[in-house]
Structure 1
């Protein structure tokens, strides 16, 4: 087994410039991610606009679901328990608390701060219980009317 860090050298100059040298052992794995499609691209400038850790995690999930870069509606779906796991919500949260304290505030913050996201929450019920939660990003680039 080999353990390694991502970078061999990181230099920061007073003018704000940065020089990074990727560790030779790690570089092949990091550089092949893009070729295999095993990465998610998002803008740092977007994530710094978001204050809540839940908003940041939801933002990343939505970017991961947007495989065609805004050409169609991106959807993330899962059970309430999966959403709790993905967003790191307290285990003790009921779905109602998850929705009121985490999902709705995160959706509201993302819709307010991120220009190419228009998130909407959908629920599927079985009886009175919510069994499926979907969040759609309704923003589509280059919409033609």
Structure 2
């Protein structure tokens, strides 16, 4: 009995190592370059905050079981608006392990200063659905920094 338990333990360790070696990388890498842009989303031209130069902002698409790795590059320059930023993935579960990636500036994370970047990491687990991402800093959500987050 003792011998079979030790053999089983060795087999389990060997299988785990083998599976880890052949498992695909399940990370989904997303980069959002945050900039100011003159737009008229409601017919009145104003300065806005956009991701990757367009409006509406790009959809972030991911799949259950993936690790969503989102890099925010802050290129904001309009000093009449906030120039720091943050990212919140509304609806995505946050745990004590990644609470600093929750995106609430001055609460769980520091804002991203102009000219700097920050990479948020979220293990999506079995979560699926349609959510959204946005900045929680000042009125950047209203100024345009928001978009869809779809997890299949």
TM-score class, shorter-chain normalisation, is under 0.3
TM-score by length of 2: 0.26
If you compute each CA radius of gyration, which structure gives the higher value, 1 or 2?
2
Could you say which structure has the greater relative contact order, defined with CA pairs below 8 angstroms and 6 or more residues apart? 2
Higher helix share: 1
Higher strand share: 2
